[in-house]
Structure 1
């Protein structure tokens, strides 16, 4: 049911185990009330969105001793008719269904919310005939990053860097701490090796030129307004050609779903959105035992 499930590390099952332990640290009083009678529960979607997070949902119920059958494939757009639509069935003892209910719903709701925003941003890019990358950022929830990055991917967006070890991104604090963009890039290149890209956050075209001359692979034009970034992107590309390298240009900083189209310009290779994970409305799911 999920073409992206094979990407997940085997250790993600331990994360689910830890979340279950957090939610049920001692006695399960509600589970005692309902007992172990075999039941089937229906998963309903009650608001529009992109379904995402199936492997995590499945694993929650696998660990509680239940099974799940799905009626809708991951990545599909759900538009509830008459208030709700059936998405899946969970089978197992009543207390074990309720044991995993809230954790599974929390994961699915947020993951689907992120996938939905990613899909909308990707659709804006397609309407604008934008050939660049629509990406998330590392503005993720501690402990929940894998789920959030997974949602971006299901929605059709790029995950950007997964963590601090994936790519070198030199921001203003790095530059201030080392004294200059040039020194920061040189220090990074000394340890990063040939396989790791170096990106530099730049506040002006002068900083972008310094980053290119120092050997940066990606220049982030941060908090530029659309009219300024249109010109700056062309200048950055020209400077890259002049030094014999293809430099990627990323637009970032305060770009929202409403303003995204203004940044989908020639010369922009990547647009990153912190809003892909921040302040994202969740998709509304509920799980009801059939009766």
Structure 2
């Protein structure tokens, strides 16, 4: 199961996306290609990158027409070059063309996220810093996009508002301070749940430490200030994990990591990626 038990929900999502695209029927295909016509579709890469979404594309075609035969030639996570044949799909031409756009949309976007993630992972080579994503995902696509991050070699941050406490600036303002926010959260959450506090200064860093935060996020801090914050945190509470976030780019990520932070979160992995160019071409009538 590619998405840790998400397949049932994924099937329902795909059915909905197909309804959005197909509506009452594919009028272009139905009006130009005879019923019963069969073909072989070749799915191939038009640029280099990390492939992701092969099982998802397979699922799209299976839902469109269980009689279609989908054959994959690569696995998610593989680095592919321009011209690589990723998969073929054989059977009803009507069915292939009905599922083509959705399958490609998902495959292109997930591969784009995996490819971007791998570039950031490569920039951290030799360091022990963990690269993680954020909640800045496309609504309705979070599980898929976070899967793509993992495929590219990254890790996932929290999946939603329900699985960890992250106290940000607005929570601090609403609660009346870091100590108040952490104290109230600690009194209500299970002992298995962590509390992360976002800080913007050394003063807030000390407040978060004194309040007993499990993770401290250094938000948009200059490199020199970040190094000092890490030094203070590790000297006072070595068990506390330190995360850096805010305007992280390929040009800055290694410098940020060298400050000693344990984790770097990058929203760009899922909101500022470029889809990988992948195409499907019909290769004549299917051989019998």
So what's the TM-score if we normalise by structure 2?
A: 0.93
- CA deviation map 1:186-212 (0-9, x unaligned): 121122211111100000111111112
User: Partners of 1:146 and 1:205 in 2: how far apart?
Assistant: 35
Q: CA deviation at 1:266?
A: 5.0
Residue of structure 1 in register with 2:245 after alignment: 252
User: Partners of 2:107 and 2:3 in 1: how far apart?
Assistant: 18
Residue of structure 2 in register with 1:269 after alignment: 262
Residue of structure 2 in register with 1:108 after alignment: 107
Any residues of structure 2 matched to 1:69-218 within 5 Å, and which?
69-80=71-82, 84-126=83-125, 129-218=126-215
Task: Give 3-state SS (helix, strand or coil) of 2:71's partner.
Answer: strand
User: Partners of 2:95 and 2:218 in 1: how far apart?
Assistant: 50
Query: Structure 1 residue runs of 4+, over 3 Å off?
Result: none
RMSD between superposed Cα atoms in Å: 1.4
Does the 8 Å CA contact 2:3/2:143 hold for their aligned counterparts?
A: no
Q: CA deviation at 1:42?
A: 0.1
Q: CA deviation at 1:44?
A: 1.0
- 1:36/1:168 Cα in 2 relative to 1: closer, same or farther (>3 Å)? farther
Does the 8 Å CA contact 1:36/1:96 hold for their aligned counterparts?
A: no
**What count of residue pairs does the alignment treat as equivalent?**
279
Q: Which runs of 5+ in 2 are unaligned?
A: none
Residue of structure 1 in register with 2:61 after alignment: 61
Task: Give 3-state SS (helix, strand or coil) of 2:271's partner.
Answer: coil
So what's the TM-score if we normalise by structure 1?
A: 0.92
User: Partners of 1:248 and 1:13 in 2: how far apart?
Assistant: 37
Residue of structure 1 in register with 2:20 after alignment: 22
Q: Which runs of 5+ in 1 are unaligned?
A: none
Q: CA deviation at 1:6?
A: 5.5
The farther-off stretch of 20-29 and 45-54 is: 20-29
